[in-house]
Structure 1
Amino acid sequence: MNIFVFASTYASYNSYRPEAEIFIGLARLGHKVTVMTNAGDEQRARYLEAGVKVMDGEPRRKICFQSIKKIREELKSTHYDIVYATNSKTIPNAGFACIGFDCKFVVYRGTTGGLYRHDPSAYLTILHPRVDGVVCVSNAVKEDVLKRVWKKKQNVVTIYKGHDINWYHVTAKSLTEFDIPDNSFTAICAVNSRPSKGISVMLEATHQLASLENLHLLLVGRNMDKEPFSTLIANSPMKDRIHVTGYRYDVPELIKSANVLVQPSISGEGLPRAVMEAMGLGTPVVITTTGGGKEVIENNKSGFVVPIKSPTAIAEKIEYLYHHPEVAEAMIKINQHKIQTELSSKQTAVNYAEYFQQLLER
């Protein structure tokens, strides 16, 4: 197959790597892959090493005539079987560029919620009339999309975004720079500070965890020091043991240093990257029932899955891991085996190739 990918990569290489490795994996399976993006040096080197053609260019807006023109010129010069776009800016531009060309146009969906038939902007992305197929990052996302699409429902599929255990042979970072003593038990939340991420719920849970004297909470992400979080932190009995780092490029090293990753989200999750990273890094997880996390974490076996908006449930599971390190060790082994087998990046590339081939045959 000849595959054209339009992707935005305004993020650290670590955060974009699972997606980039899909395209690299497709090339290593023998398919011709072109990626149009603004790749960093490390990412570009990985692409070129695998034989992926790289074109410079990212959309400035949802309708970027420069991007549309550039894609159309490429589609005129080379026949592509598949055109694949990955986010709210690349999808509409690639969709308009594909009009009049004999290729299958496939899009990616990574979140639940926010997709409505009455919303005109939805017809620029997932509901774009040119879309032939939708790849969803989890079954939770797939179920949400199926409620909204008008046609070709059989072409809406779930493909988990795989990882590689070798990515996570990193050195745990000392947390002393955040005034966390080496012998502490540390819970980490590594998320964006949107309301849907449930940080307020996690901060409420600290009221029930304060008696664990060497327990610390590390909040990694933008704007955690702003309202409403700053007030919630100030009012917590653990306020001197809650540490706000801001945005970091060394999130894997911080997760590896922690004793438990907590994902307290209340809505909108697809398949949280931090959960997958924790599985590979050897850090137990406590997640909520929203989104696709519960599809890869087996409750009470490979992690804990708790109801949304329940600080009590979160506190109970953190305290349980605090007192039962042997349970944490068992969870780590299960999760790392799962990353190596069911959720590997190589398997993800195979799943994409099979799905693209099925689209072409229908």
Structure 2
Amino acid sequence: MSYQQCNAASRKAQKESGLIETQSPEKLPGILCLTDKCDRPESELFIGLREEGFPIGVMANPDGANFERLNNAGLIVGPIALRNRFDKEGTAAIRNVLETGKYDVVHAFNPRALACALRASRGMSIKVVAYRGVIGNISFLNPESWITFLHPRVDRIVCVADAIRDYLAGLHFLWLHLPPSKLITVYKGHDLEWYQDTPADLQEFGIPEGAFTVCCTGRDVPRKGFDVLVDSLARLPSDVVIHLLLVGDLDRNEPLRQQVQALPHPERVHFTGFRKDAPALAAASDVFVLPSKEREGLPRAVIEAMSYGVAPVVTDVGGMPELVEQGVSGLVVPPNDAQSLSAALLELYRDRERLKQMGQLARRRIATHFHTSQTVAQMGKIYCELTGQN
């Protein structure tokens, strides 16, 4: 049932009970969303809220891939590209939009937007909602945290995974802590219809046709655990032929390249560099691996691979165990454990029927548990509860 239908049913019940006058229309709260170069899930959330009847405006970076689509949908109320958390020009622009009186809630989707929104809404009866997608970097001893997530005027922090919510709930210093009522989990929604790319031809990278291929996508940062993944290949039996496709700026990581060269078969590891077609590369692979060591939220790369029916192997870090059901829609291994990761890859390599089944269940899990319509419904409920307007 949509929010409009919910409103209609509620209005009817209230009219019949005599609690309200029939001529008094019920309205949904106005929402101002502040983002940067927003991705597809964020964009679809904004569009979905508009379709449900919420008066919504978006301020976003005009250089973003989805800016034009949002603008064509009539959602953009102003371009914004915040330089830092103290951007005076950006803060003034946000203030000007809020002063129109159209909005009851401001929802900031990154720390810079949150800091500026808190200053821009000073003295206004505006509810402030924050988005948090990763674990870490928040502390009661960090002054920057006090101008963002720990600011007392933040009414809700929407966490992209329970693991992030639990991390924030566990922050303490003396008597200071975040009230549990401020913290709520809302998974970032997707739609299988978004993932229709034709699987790439991996022979471009020297991978033989039909070869068993493991794909790993990510930024070149130590916490992603690429060294552990390479180490896991060294532990495979000699009769196992697995090719590893490393997608991203890892080609510039010289220590990682040296580690690859020390493998028994370095020719089976392929660096692609940065690619815009990363989902199509994952779709062409047999297994998708994300061996992160810490701080993960709900990784988009894993969701994209699962949406294409590719079985995931992930570490027990952050929100990934919420995304991947161990032994059902993928495999979950301990972080920093090359032997366990190697065993998981070997298991799927040996049992192709189970691999196929896991891929199918991974795709189904995204469709049933992480759909964009669920995100729209949950966020709409949060906005209404905050403002008491529904």
TM-score (norm 2): 0.87
Tell me the equivalent position of 2:216: 189
- The answer (yes or no) to whether the contact 1:44–1:54 under 8 Å persists in 2 is no
The one-letter code matched in structure 2 to 1:2 is G
Tell me the equivalent position of 2:271: 244
Q: Which of 86, 96, 105 lines up with 1:63 in the alignment?
A: 86
Distance 1:112 1:42, change over 3 A: closer
Tell me the equivalent position of 2:380: 353
Superposed, 1:311-322 pairs within 5 Å as: 311-322=338-349
Q: How far 1:42 moved relative to its partner?
A: 5.5
Tell me the equivalent position of 2:202: 175
Give the stretch that moved more between structures: 29-38 or 259-268: 29-38
Tell me the equivalent position of 1:84: 107
Mapped to 2, the partners of 1:140 and 1:17 lie a distance apart of 23
Distance 1:233 1:83, change over 3 A: same
Mapped to 1, the partners of 2:384 and 2:134 lie a distance apart of 25
Q: How far 1:54 moved relative to its partner?
A: 4.0
Q: How far 1:307 moved relative to its partner?
A: 0.6
Mapped to 1, the partners of 2:314 and 2:178 lie a distance apart of 34
Deviations 1:96-122 (A, max 9, x none): 111111111000111112211111111
Q: Which of 143, 148, 158 lines up with 2:166 in the alignment?
A: 143
Q: Which of 25, 33, 45 lines up with 2:56 in the alignment?
A: 33
Mapped to 2, the partners of 1:150 and 1:104 lie a distance apart of 20
Q: How many residues get paired? A: 357
Q: How far 1:252 moved relative to its partner?
A: 0.7
The one-letter code matched in structure 2 to 1:47 is L
Deviations 1:110-137 (A, max 9, x none): 1112211111111122112321110000
Mapped to 2, the partners of 1:70 and 1:198 lie a distance apart of 41
Tell me the equivalent position of 1:75: 98
Tell me the equivalent position of 1:333: 360
Q: How far 1:40 moved relative to its partner?
A: 4.8
Q: How far 1:238 moved relative to its partner?
A: 2.7
Deviations 1:207-239 (A, max 9, x none): 013625541101111244323312211212231
Q: Which of 307, 310, 314 lines up with 1:280 in the alignment?
A: 307
- The answer (yes or no) to whether the contact 1:27–1:50 under 8 Å persists in 2 is no
Tell me the equivalent position of 1:102: 125
Tell me the SS of whatever aligns to 2:49: helix
2:229 is aligned with 1:206: no
2:147 is aligned with 1:120: no
Deviations 1:80-109 (A, max 9, x none): 111011112211111211111111100011
Q: Which of 247, 260, 273 lines up with 1:220 in the alignment?
A: 247
Q: Which of 30, 36, 53 lines up with 1:2 in the alignment?
A: 30
Give the stretch that moved more between structures: 128-137 or 49-58: 49-58
2:328 is aligned with 1:301: yes
The one-letter code matched in structure 1 to 2:36 is S
Tell me the SS of whatever aligns to 1:77: coil
Distance 1:185 1:54, change over 3 A: farther
Mapped to 2, the partners of 1:346 and 1:206 lie a distance apart of 39
Mapped to 2, the partners of 1:4 and 1:274 lie a distance apart of 28
Highest Rg: 1 or 2? 2
Mind listing any 5+ residue stretches in structure 1 that lack a counterpart?
Answer: none
Mapped to 1, the partners of 2:285 and 2:325 lie a distance apart of 21
Tell me the equivalent position of 1:154: 181
- The answer (yes or no) to whether the contact 1:33–1:53 under 8 Å persists in 2 is no
The one-letter code matched in structure 1 to 2:31 is I
- The answer (yes or no) to whether the contact 1:25–1:346 under 8 Å persists in 2 is yes
Mind listing any 5+ residue stretches in structure 2 that lack a counterpart?
Answer: 1-28
Q: How far 1:323 moved relative to its partner?
A: 1.6
- The answer (yes or no) to whether the contact 1:146–1:156 under 8 Å persists in 2 is yes
Q: How far 1:41 moved relative to its partner?
A: 7.6
Mapped to 1, the partners of 2:239 and 2:345 lie a distance apart of 10
Mapped to 1, the partners of 2:137 and 2:239 lie a distance apart of 39
Mapped to 2, the partners of 1:228 and 1:8 lie a distance apart of 33
